[in-house]
Amino acid sequence: MISVIGAGPAGSFYASQEKNEDVHLFEEHEVVGKPVACTGILTDSISRVTQIDPNLIVSKINRFKIVAPGGKSIYIDLKKTNFVLDRARLDQWLFQKAVDNGAKVHLGERFEGMKEREGKIRVKTSKKTYESDMLVGADGPKSQVAQAAGIYGDRKFVQGWQARCKFPNLEEGVTEIRMGVGEFAWVVPEDNKIARVGVIGMDNATLKQEYQNLLGASKIIEDQSGVIPLYNPKQKLQKGNVFLLGDAATQVKATTYGGIIYGMIAGTYLAKDKENYSKLFNQKLGRDLWISLKMRDYMNHMSEKQCDDMIGIFKKKNNADILAEHDRDFPSKFIVQLLMKEAKLWKLGFDIFKNKHFN
């Protein structure tokens, strides 16, 4: 028996790929996909793991508008469309894939602990105890499975404040990214009236005020706020026959704090080769997650002038074309090209580094 804790995208997708016929999928909530705590915008990289049902798509994004604190901005025309999904229905769709693959489901059943005994894992839930051969924690940023198994590690978190709301002056098909508001802030339109609006950063009064300022007089339809883990390169992904996936494994890119695609890819690796899961994930995806972590560190220490300088660099056609061509999920595919083509990025990076460490 394989016990999978958490029916979010990572857990459900893994259960849909697993060949073992005795997979049990546990979800503490009675309804999969609720509450929503995610923007639900995906790049074309999702095609690496699955073909999204068109019925899940709420809107399509063809341009990004990046706005610096000083007001300078740039539009990036995307060569590959981004998709804004119905986030709750995405979870439910992936959950159904797991069911179709033969997973036994346990809704409204919360993980409460585990003990290893005679080569088996005794999984205790809010309803009963199960004897499992393998335990998979896909149970979110503060994973109870990771804690129970002793592989929680040194975790850091950021707060994501987000609301689905009626928002004025929306540009359909254009996601707006605002630098210098929290770690970054966004306006993702569903149409010309409704958007998903949010900000991410360290949880404090300043961040909440910036969020309120961003919302302005918008009418909130649904709060979608939540805690997000910071990627930890030293995070253990397994201990014996206990494995971690998705947010539970801090498999989240630090540039935009999205993790759906990474968690789903991790699920395919685990289903394919359990013995080499950690090695495979770190070899295939670790570099991009590490690069995103370093990019976030630099961006967090940029001054207003440096943000303006970056907008100026990106406005050059060659640089804009590189950004337009590559998905942001995998920065290793474009960051080297940018650095090779644009000497000013090297200088900007040096200035940020100098300000961070020596001022």
> What does the alpha-carbon distance between residue 5 and residue 144 come to, in Å, rounded to a whole number?
9
Closest Cα partner for 109 from 4, 228, 193, 241?
A: 4
Residues 14 and 97 occupy one common structural domain: yes
> What does the alpha-carbon distance between residue 1 and residue 126 come to, in Å, rounded to a whole number?
18
CB 36 within 8 A of CB 162: no
Q: Where are the beta strands (DSSP E) in 28-138?
A: 41-42, 57-67, 73-85, 104-107, 111-117, 120-125, 129-132, 134-137
Among 211, 228, 245, identify where a domain stops: 228
DSSP-assigned beta bridge partners for residue 67: 73, 178
> What does the alpha-carbon distance between residue 209 and residue 191 come to, in Å, rounded to a whole number?
26
Residues of the chain where predicted confidence (pLDDT) is lower than 70: 319, 322, 326-359
The stretches of 126-223 forming alpha helices (DSSP H) are 144-149, 205-215
pLDDT at 27: 97
Residues 73 and 99 occupy one common structural domain: no
pLDDT at 358: 37
Residue reference for tokens 């040096």:
350
Residues 245 and 282 occupy one common structural domain: yes
CB count, 10 Å around CB of 183?
20
Q: What is the helix (H) or strand (E) element at residue 242, kind and residue range? A: strand 242-244
Residues 25 and 107 occupy one common structural domain: yes
pLDDT at 218: 94
User: DSSP for 14-58?
Assistant: HHHH---S-EEEEESSSSTT-S--S--EE-GGGGGT-PPPGGGEE
Three-state secondary-structure class, residue 285: helix
Closest Cα partner for 288 from 212, 231, 217, 342?
A: 231
> What does the alpha-carbon distance between residue 322 and residue 325 come to, in Å, rounded to a whole number?
5
Residues 28 and 108 occupy one common structural domain: yes
> What does the alpha-carbon distance between residue 314 and residue 185 come to, in Å, rounded to a whole number?
19
Residues 167 and 199 occupy one common structural domain: yes
> What does the alpha-carbon distance between residue 83 and residue 40 come to, in Å, rounded to a whole number?
8
Residues 319 and 222 occupy one common structural domain: no
> What does the alpha-carbon distance between residue 174 and residue 42 come to, in Å, rounded to a whole number?
14
Q: Which two tokens stand for residue 127?
A: 């309803």
DSSP-assigned beta bridge partners for residue 129: 124
Closest Cα partner for 160 from 79, 109, 223?
A: 223
Residue reference for tokens 């804690």:
147
Q: Which domain holds residue 245?
A: 2-35+88-155+233-286
Residues 92 and 191 occupy one common structural domain: no
Task: Give 18-25's long-range contacts (Cβ < 8 A, gap of 24+).
Answer: 18/101, 18/103, 18/271, 19/271, 21/102, 22/104, 23/98, 23/101, 23/102, 23/103, 23/104, 24/103, 24/104, 24/105, 24/106, 24/130, 24/132, 25/95, 25/98, 25/103, 25/104, 25/105, 25/106
Residues 220 and 350 occupy one common structural domain: no
How does pLDDT run across 70-124, given as a tens digit for each residue? 888 989 898 889 999 999 999 999 999 999 999 999 999 999 999 998 889 999 9
CATH number for position 72: 3.30.9.10
Among 180, 210, 228, identify where a domain stops: 228
pLDDT at 28: 96
In this structure, the strands spanning 242-244 and 238-239 are antiparallel
CATH number for position 245: 3.50.50.60
Among 247, 263, 286, identify where a domain stops: 286
Residues 62 and 180 occupy one common structural domain: yes
Cα distance between the two ends of the chain: 56
Single pTM value for the model? 0.89
Residues 126 and 26 occupy one common structural domain: yes
- Structural domains counted in the chain: 3
Residues 254 and 299 occupy one common structural domain: no
